[in-house]
Structure 1
Amino acid sequence: MHKIISGNQSKETIFTMQCFSDQQDVQIPLFVTFLLIFLIIIIGNSTIFATITLISQLHTPMYMLLGSLSFLDISYTLTTLPKLLLMLCTQDKTISFTGCVIQLYFFIGFTCTEFLLLSVMAYDRYVAVCQPLHYSLLMSLKHCVKLIIVVWAAGFLDTAPFALLIKNLTFCSSHYIEHFFCDFTPVLKITCSDTSTIEILTYINGVVMAFSAFTLTCASYVVIICTVVKIQSSEGRKKTFSTCTSHLTCVTIFYGTIICSYIRPVQSYTPKQDTYFALLYIVLVPILNPFIYTMKNKEFKESFGTLRAKIALFHLEK
């Protein structure tokens, strides 16, 4: 199952993933299900990203942030689902230590990036609802692009210490990861190294990164709700708050699953329960985002229709 060469263990260790091994009779149905989910996520989010990128009318801060979220969801999905599909298809459920660290690094990086991006999107809605006269100044397109760059850079720089610490872990007896990808807690669960430093760093990072982003998001919505309540007409209140409901729905799902999965000690980890939570934040949020953000968005639908017409015209001209 694994090879160990003295002084070079981290490069030679091979892990075996649990990856629904206790459900051998449904491996093919699981493969088909996750393949369909994968295609829906990629096609749905790619459609949003392409439409926002190619239609100039959508080059506004709100849609630029939505395009960044769609690209993030695509990246998130590519980090975990292709390897899961390969394991289900071939039944080879092994992964090298290096591959595991790389997967873990990108997964945590995308998670941190989503924390920050969702808080910036909440701030954008706050400015639009509560400071509409200053929106063009506070959330100009140039300012928005800078925020997006900072969010992505901060997300991956914040993740680097975790990857370096995990890279130096040793695994004495068990090389069996009770999960379907290299998640943070399952990897720490099987190491024989002292994980106290990583766990302390995780909680500190949770306060600095996740809690700060969560606080900013909540504060934005508290002010938004207070502003909406003061609007006299019920139609005006409904119309104003409808611009925030899509984002608020995604925030609720994302934070709910993350809190259930990570805000607790490693010792309380239960593989089966955490697998279901992991499926929620890996699959549910990316698959729902395209529908949540576009189903009632008239401007996006019109822009998508314009893009389809341009594509059809291009094929006719050929």
Structure 2
Amino acid sequence: MISRNRTLIEGFRLIGVSDVPELQVVISLLILLIYLISLVGNLTLLLLVGLDVHLHTPMYFFLSNLSVIDISSSTTALHKIFAIALTQNNMVSTSACLTQLYIFGTLTINEISILATMSFDRYVAICRPLHYHTVMSRRLCVLLAVLSWPFAFLELLPTIVLVSRFTCYISKEIDHYFCDLLPLRDITCSDTSLLDLYIEIFGNIFVFTLLFLTIIPYVFIILSILRISSSVGRHKTFYTCSSHIMVVMLFYSSLILQYIVAILGKNIGSNKMLSLFNTAIVPMMNPLIYSLKNKDVKSALQRKLKW
């Protein structure tokens, strides 16, 4: 049996996206390009929603929140890749590592909450159109968006407290490009049973409850669409929520695949690739999906470009 050397660590060394220096630079440049496209896309969407009065609706209010979360989460997760490529310094202190883990985890939980809220918004718009402005009032929208932040912070707090209590590690190298929970847990020699129990019970219950709350509105939406006699009407109604369906599928497919890979105990390389998809590709795709498939956004963009 391999002996586990117990080592107290004040900081960690991030391996990055690749352990080959030449390959690391090439991949970092590609990720930087994706990040810049994501940044421009999300900032453009935020400006359009802020400047165009036609987009001052609950749907685009929540979409703005999603853009803020996407910018924040991709910046939080990817900034160390660029720092390593520029300075060759891949060290991170324990406090900085825990802070990054906390912020990124909070943003992920917040994104799950916002996607569920957007599903409810689409349900009210399609299935209860006459009551839409009454139900989705400005006060309720602001309340839902604001409450998702403390809720996310509190939900993740026990995880951070348990991780901060790790007293020893097998190694100070984290085979990842940021301080993610599973790679950090894999290198500790402290007892992780309480952390695993919390993740299994509360983490999974939370994620799958919000997934359920995201899917259920679309069950009612589909039933409502099927009752429409006109094929043109069915297509038009489905088109209004197709962008959100694509965003939800994109986000949850990567999240569930990461979960399955972790359960199956596959190599960390697979998990890193899925993490890159979740932290780089998904934030880039979200504004593109809403821009290319949404007539309101395209019309607003045309109006501002003419102006």
TM-score normalised by the shorter chain: which range applies? over 0.9
The answer for the alignment partner of 1:111 in structure 2 is 108
The alignment status of 1:142 with 2:142, answered yes or no, reads no
- Alpha-carbon distance change, 278 to 14 in structure 1, aligned in 2, over 3 angstroms: same
**Secondary structure of the corresponding residue to residue 92 of structure 2:** strand
Query: In the alignment, what sits opposite 1:315?
Result: none
Is 1:194 aligned to residue 186 of structure 2?
no
Local SS of the residue matching 2:189: coil
Q: Which amino acid aligns with 1:34?
A: I
Counterpart check, 1:233 vs 2:230 = yes
Question: In the aligned structure 2, how far is the partner of 1:76 from the partner of 1:117?
Answer: 14
* TM-score normalised to structure 2 length: 0.92
Change (3 A) 1:139 1:189: same
Q: Distance in 1 between matches of 2:142 and 2:161?
A: 30
In the aligned structure 2, how far is the partner of 1:306 from the partner of 1:167?
Answer: 51
- Map residues 1-318 of structure 1 onto 2, 5 A cutoff: 13-262=10-259, 268-308=265-305
Secondary structure of the corresponding residue to residue 68 of structure 2: helix
- In structure 2, the partner of 1:314 is none
Please name the residue that 1:3 is paired with.
Answer: none
Contact 1:185 1:269 (C-alpha < 8 Å) held by counterparts: no
Amino acid at match of 1:85: F
Distance 1:269 1:79 in 2: 25
Q: Distance in 1 between matches of 2:119 and 2:158?
A: 28
CA contact (8 A) 2:76 2:103 kept: yes
The Cα of 1:308 is off from its aligned counterpart by: 4.3
The answer to whether the 8 A contact 1:113-1:152 is kept is yes
| 2: CA distance, partners of 1:293 / 1:230 | 26
The amino acid across from 1:261 in the alignment is Q
Partners in 2 of 1:70 and 1:221 — Cα distance?
22
Q: Which residue identity is paired with 1:54? A: L
Shift of residue 305, structure 1, vs aligned partner: 3.6
Q: CA deviation at 1:266?
A: 6.5
Residues 307/155 of structure 1: CA separation in 2 closer, same or farther (3 Å cut): farther
Conservation of the 8 A alpha-carbon contact between 1:188 and 1:266? no
| Displacement after TM superposition at 1:108 (Å) | 0.6
1:119–1:214 contact (8 Å) kept in structure 2: yes
Q: 1:267 to 1:252 in 2, by over 3 A?
A: closer
Give the match's secondary structure for 1:29: helix
Which residue identity lines up with residue 67 of structure 1 in the other structure? S
Identity of aligned residues (%): 38
Cα drift, residue 224 of structure 1: 0.7
Counterpart-to-counterpart distance in 2, 1:66 and 1:173: 43
Is the contact between residue 112 and residue 209 of structure 1 (CA under 8 Å) also seen in structure 2? no
Shift, 1:263, TM fit: 5.2
Higher relative contact order (CA 8 A, sep 6+): 2
- Structure 2 runs not aligned, ≥5 long: 1-6
Deviation at 1:254, TM superposition (A): 1.0
TM score, norm. by length of structure 1: 0.89
RMSD over aligned Cα, in angstroms?
1.8
